[in-house]
Structure 1
Amino acid sequence: MSDFRKDFPILEKEVYGKRLVYLDNAATSQKPNSVIDTISDYYSSDNSNIHRGVHYLSEISSEKYEKSREEVSNFIGAGEPGEVTFTAGTTDSINQVACSLKSILKGNEVLVSGVEHHSNIVPWQLAGATLREIPMDEGCNLLPDSIEITDKTKLIAISHASNVLGSVNPIKEVVEIAKEHDIPVLVDAAQSIQHMPIDVQDIGCDFLAASGHKMYAATGVGVLYTSERFGDILPARGGGGMVDRVTLEETTYLKPPLRYEAGTPHIAGAISIAAAIDYMQDIGMDKIREHEHEVYSYARNKLLETDGVTVYGNTKEMCGSISFNLDGIHHYDTGLILDKMGIAVRTGHHCAQPLMRTLGTEGTVRASFALYNTKEDADRLLEGIEKVRMMYA
């Protein structure tokens, strides 16, 4: 694979006099020139509110916005564009589902995995649901055969890939079990959609949430796939743009997806997702996955071979993130020293405190990879780790 660093202008930046090695992609990805140009072009050439205007700029903006919806629909294998809603991100997508299903969830239970981000925990609690964890083994492999569904189970909400460990959950197996009991499944794809091909119809899930900024698009925008059978649930937000007829006594709503997009959306952000998809598809998702797997496996194996380093998680399939700690050295101190070497990693609990308690640690160092990372980046990380260890020897 060619070096795609040249497409990402921020990667030319030096940090403390050293070439930036950006390994915080699970938090947010960097943006290629094509995405940056798309956002700039929108604001300089087309900026207007959508759907409700009859003038030229509004029609152009509306066309680009809906074209992006079509691209997202095709990218994730949805049945039709109407099954795709633009949101403020994965967190917002999950909250919207939780709010829309509140009457069903309140007093009942939602099944989750043990590696969930807080965004796939807190919204269900706010909806009044009780959470129950699907068992996993010591390596954090999910155990679908251990799923126990009761008459209180109303939803399974599961991450496709862990933002902490990089573990990939067997979501198709989970969905198959859920279907046997007619239980809907929500998939949090925030940490997978940028790393591998996704087909919601093949997966069979009812909801899928993802963020634009983790897939090389703008911040503050995301997508929510809703299957046809849930296409008429009540909207979680109310306001302009999503109504059919409003009186002081009653309001009726437009058909999906507009009924779920109250107010002025992040138009430039939605259009940037289409640009990001175009960029990834020009490369090829299979090629991206192959390249990332090579770099990821190289880095992970090197870390496993390094004395005094604990690497967390060991599942059948992994991507994106690697979490580790250096023996006797606080994760925060490790991150600070690596930063001074131009290496950007994340430290802390990564919005996954239940998982941290399972792992027996307060936090980890997390290196997370994207399509522009290379084995050279992994080597720089390993060199940085050696320096940290020498400083604390």
Structure 2
Amino acid sequence: MIDVRKDFPILEKEVYGKRLVYLDSAATTQKPSCVINAISEFYRSGNSNIHRGVHYLSEVSSERYEKAREKVSDFIGARNSSEVVFTAGTTDSINQVACSLRPVLAGNEVLITGVEHHSNIVPWQMAGATLKAIQMDDDCNVLIDSMEITDRTKLVAINHASNVLGSVNDIKEITEIAKDHDVPVLVDAAQSVQHVPIDVKDVDCDFLAFSGHKMYAGTGVGVLYVSERFNDLLPARGGGGMVDKVTLEKTTYLDPPQRYEAGTPNIAGAISMGVAVDYVQNIGMDKIKEHEHEVYSYARERLLEMDGVTVYGNTDEMCGAISFNIEGVHHYDAGLIMDKMGIAVRTGHHCAQPLMRSLGIEGTVRASFALYSTKEDADMLVEGIEKVRVLHA
């Protein structure tokens, strides 16, 4: 077990006079002091725009921004840093791919799973594509053998881990099947990159999207990995910083990644992501995975043992999130009661309405974990559920 709670100042906070039990990390992770300090230090002593100035502050900011890109590139196993694009988050990353591929997707099919976040559904619909979901069993295991790729399938877009269930998909096997049919693959890694090691070369995906704020960095920054196979992808946005030459008749674009980063980016956010990468790598992703698995498994087993509590999903590999309902109690009411006990959980459909419909429910209570989560947090969650049941008896 690892003990890093001292690195996260907010975990010392009390809520309604109770110790904060933060179980909403799937929505956003808390930030270690090193990340908070890096953001503050940038604005305090280094603030300047990048790539456009010859003065000292601009050069230093540009260097730190590009160094963060290199750190992210190494973190996900990219071939080189030019495959890493900074965006505003996972949603923005997926939307950029959808916009760039619109001519190909319109009138054709995108293959997804039945456990996708709306951010991996709506952009493809907006691009004019028809969505087709891979079948899953009653435990929400994606039945990879049932994948049906046709001539109309122009993209496979899958999450690595569900933000609702915590179920982990075998993205490598899915990618291998797609590549046998010469179909590109996008992986939504928003709920996995902070929990388990990912190597894009090994997975062999074409695109990978994730957010900084879910892996201990600041908000409003994300990553889109674009494989060098798609070096000539048309940019989804135009403006300053991504152009080579501009005339009134024609514009030519810079090479990746600059061609995909129009305008002034979230410089502080990108720097914070580089610091967050350093932080988790100094601990070790394997150690993080081991620690989280122990806490997650303990919490899940405790919930499964409780009478009147339904836990959703039961796949071979799981991480991050556990969704459940308490018999006779609306999920929103359960969340409010636990909040008064200092327990922060999320309630609702979690931006996964198609999954909720397939489960025959409107929403759940969701507890989600991170590297600072402990078995004591899980015990407090169980205590909170018991209190909810007493109050609704």
Residue of structure 2 equivalent to 1:247: 247
Equivalent-residue separation in structure 2 for 1:19 and 1:232 (angstroms): 52
Equivalent-residue separation in structure 2 for 1:41 and 1:182 (angstroms): 46
Equivalent-residue separation in structure 1 for 2:379 and 2:315 (angstroms): 23
Q: How many residues align?
A: 393
CA drift at 1:367: 0.1
Equivalent-residue separation in structure 1 for 2:231 and 2:112 (angstroms): 23
1:219-253: per-residue Cα shift (whole Å, max 9, x none)? 00000001111121100010000000001110000
CA drift at 1:152: 0.3
Equivalent-residue separation in structure 2 for 1:346 and 1:40 (angstroms): 29
Residue of structure 1 equivalent to 2:80: 80
Structure 1 length-normalised TM: 1.00
1:186-205: per-residue Cα shift (whole Å, max 9, x none)? 00000000001000000010
Q: Contact 2:2–2:291 (CA<8 Å) still a contact in 1? A: no
Equivalent-residue separation in structure 1 for 2:335 and 2:209 (angstroms): 30
* Match status 1:110 vs 2:122: no
Aligned positions of 1:119-130 closer than 5 A: 119-130=119-130
Match of 2:210, SS state, is: strand
In structure 2, give the amino acid aligned to 1:287.
Answer: K
What RMSD, in angstroms, separates the aligned Cα atoms of the two structures?
Answer: 0.5
Residue of structure 2 equivalent to 1:289: 289
* Match status 1:177 vs 2:177: yes
Equivalent-residue separation in structure 2 for 1:234 and 1:176 (angstroms): 25
Residue of structure 1 equivalent to 2:320: 320
In structure 2, give the amino acid aligned to 1:18.
Answer: K
In structure 1, give the amino acid aligned to 2:48.
Answer: S
Residue of structure 1 equivalent to 2:9: 9
Match of 2:377, SS state, is: helix
In structure 2, give the amino acid aligned to 1:214.
Answer: K
Structure 2 length-normalised TM: 1.00
Equivalent-residue separation in structure 2 for 1:229 and 1:175 (angstroms): 15
Q: Contact 2:95–2:123 (CA<8 Å) still a contact in 1? A: yes
Match of 1:215, SS state, is: coil
Aligned positions of 1:334-353 closer than 5 A: 334-353=334-353
Equivalent-residue separation in structure 2 for 1:232 and 1:59 (angstroms): 28
Aligned-residue identity in percent: 78
Equivalent-residue separation in structure 2 for 1:14 and 1:353 (angstroms): 33
* Match status 1:37 vs 2:24: no
Residue of structure 2 equivalent to 1:138: 138
Match of 2:103, SS state, is: helix
1:163-217: per-residue Cα shift (whole Å, max 9, x none)? 0000001111100100100000000000000001000000010000000000000
Equivalent-residue separation in structure 1 for 2:364 and 2:231 (angstroms): 40
1:77-134: per-residue Cα shift (whole Å, max 9, x none)? 0000000000000000000000000000000000000000000000000000000000
Equivalent-residue separation in structure 1 for 2:124 and 2:49 (angstroms): 33
Aligned positions of 1:179-328 closer than 5 A: 179-328=179-328
- Unaligned runs of at least 5 residues, structure 1: none
In structure 2, give the amino acid aligned to 1:51.
Answer: H
- Unaligned runs of at least 5 residues, structure 2: none
CA drift at 1:2: 3.5
Equivalent-residue separation in structure 2 for 1:355 and 1:213 (angstroms): 24
Match of 1:107, SS state, is: coil
Q: Contact 2:246–2:252 (CA<8 Å) still a contact in 1? A: yes
Equivalent-residue separation in structure 2 for 1:225 and 1:181 (angstroms): 22
CA drift at 1:3: 1.9
Residue of structure 1 equivalent to 2:18: 18
Match of 2:214, SS state, is: helix
Equivalent-residue separation in structure 2 for 1:116 and 1:249 (angstroms): 42
Residue of structure 2 equivalent to 1:366: 366
Residue of structure 1 equivalent to 2:89: 89
1:328-370: per-residue Cα shift (whole Å, max 9, x none)? 1000000000000000000000000000001110000000000
